[in-house]
Amino acid sequence: MAEAKGAPKLYAQLISSAPGAFLAKQFGLPQPEKLRRYQPGEPPLPGPVLLGGNGRLVEPIRNLLSDYTFAEPSDTKFGALVFDATGITDPAGLEQLFTFFQPTLRNLAPSGRVVVLGTTPEEAGSVDERIAQRALEGFTRSVGKELRRGATVQLVYVSPKAATGLTGVESTLRFLLSAKSAFVDAQVIRIGEGDATAPESWDRPLAGKVAVVTGAARGIGATIAEVLARDGATVVAADVPAAGDALTQTANKVGGTAFALDVTAPDAGEKLAAHLLERHGGADIIVHNAGITRDKLLVNMDAARWNSVMGVNLIAPRKITDVLVEKGALKEGGRVIDVSSIAGIAGNRGQTNYGASKAGVIGLVQATSEALADKKITVNAVAPGFIETAMTAAIPVATREAGRLMSSLQQGGETVDVAETVAWFANPASSAVTGQVVRVCGQSMLGA
């Protein structure tokens, strides 16, 4: 993993010193919390779940999560607050949110979780219900900005046609109600009507699956390879031939294989398809992580910068997925996971090429998720915010500090935060999650 070794995390260092922490408190400056992250064997949450609301989801959820500990409203510490808001069918009913959260929110543990469940507004049964359900988005995004100490909030819209057992929702709830979603904050996730089959083990949901990760030699890609392997997948780690030793290291670390591949080569898709079919009988998961930046103000940009960024970040994922599907090298029921960026949502000065390519990735997800639905292939994207890698270590120091602090969690994320989100999309039980773009940005103010 290309962590930004020795990169000056000036503010974090100052704040973690005793005088620094004292001054920060006096002046109301942000004090980043050390986020709780996944450790095998540790409980998913820092305390019990308080489950509230009176909609169609509350009882099925209690059954699905029967291995979680549930709390009583009179308890004084909660690891998570989960509210089923599907019973709210008109604007006046939104008072239920106030009644449930106002007295309980202050008792949420550090790195605690808030999950609000609603009905997909476009599928609501009446005008009043649609208004009320859409209102949940403003509520959750505002709660995200009020939460402190590493706690996060998400809104999950569930199709009213979802089967009664809610099997399609389970993988998402288990991800959100765990330390794996540490840097995912204030996201709106839509879950379709499909059923899903729970994996034999939630600890190794990818057992027996083959996953390709591009750009796997370092940074986010190397960590994605590690996390998918941890979850049981056989990993094909791909990167440019020049990545050499670093790529071999990733492959060895994860017990997988290295595959030298420049994703922009004209025959990249064909080469990868042939390799996957010959060695593995096809792949189940492809993660298009390879990405580059070539920043310049548009007025100073040359065509080479424009074309290389577009070629790696957008044109290659589009072409490679197409070829893999056409050749049957990505199996039915497969997973395509793209890597976008908050720069593709918010735009960024000096990044017209990068911003366009990463926004194009969102279009790619939306279009191909529909086109590949008949093959039961899901297509989703992560949109990382500020993640500590070689890419962000190259940003000028002041901008870098600002990037870390301008989010509700008041810090940068780690590569593992992106990788855990990829692993949730990759889970076979996430078959009802498609066409989604989930930011991994600690509720960055950029583009929020």
**Residues annotated as catalytic (active site), given as ranges:** 354
**Which one, 177 or 240, has the nearer CB to ligand NAD?**
240
Six-digit token string for 188: 């709106």
**Which one, 153 or 387, has the nearer CB to ligand NAD?**
387
> Minimum distance from CB of 35 to ligand NAD (Å)?
16
**Which one, 29 or 292, has the nearer CB to ligand NAD?**
292
The four Cα atoms 324, 325, 331, 334 give a dihedral, to 10 degrees, of 100
> Minimum distance from CB of 11 to ligand NAD (Å)?
17
412: phi then psi, degrees, rounded to nearest 5: -80, 160
Q: Which residues bind ligand NAD (CB under 6 A)?
A: 2, 214-215, 217-221, 239-240, 243, 261-264, 289-292, 312, 339, 341, 384, 386-387, 389-392
Instruction: Give the gyration radius of the chain's Cα atoms.
Output: 22
> Minimum distance from CB of 194 to ligand NAD (Å)?
28
Cβ–Cβ under 8 Å, residues 426 and 335: yes
> Minimum distance from CB of 185 to ligand NAD (Å)?
15
Six-digit token string for 159: 């199709």
74/83 Cα distance (integer angstroms) = 16
63/266 Cα distance (integer angstroms) = 50
**Which one, 339 or 429, has the nearer CB to ligand NAD?**
339
**Which one, 136 or 237, has the nearer CB to ligand NAD?**
237
In 48-141, which ranges are E strands?
Answer: 49-53, 78-84, 108-119
> Minimum distance from CB of 329 to ligand NAD (Å)?
17
**Which one, 117 or 346, has the nearer CB to ligand NAD?**
346
For 158, half-sphere exposure in the C-beta direction (CA atoms, 13 angstrom radius) is 31
304: phi then psi, degrees, rounded to nearest 5: -65, -45
> Minimum distance from CB of 225 to ligand NAD (Å)?
11
218: phi then psi, degrees, rounded to nearest 5: -155, 180
Six-digit token string for 256: 């997988």
> Minimum distance from CB of 389 to ligand NAD (Å)?
3
> In sequence order, which residues have a C-beta less than 8 Å from that of residue 415 and are 6 or more positions away?
1, 3, 219, 220, 222, 223, 224, 387, 388, 389
Six-digit token string for 227: 């996390």
For 237, half-sphere exposure in the C-beta direction (CA atoms, 13 angstrom radius) is 30
Q: Of the candidates 179, 50, 181, which has an alpha carbon nearest to the alpha carbon of residue 108?
A: 50
Residue 393, H or E segment? helix 390-393
Q: Which residues of 62-92 are buried (b: 16+ CB within 10 A; e: fewer)?
A: eebbeebeebeeeeeebbbbbbbbbebbeee
**Which one, 115 or 379, has the nearer CB to ligand NAD?**
379
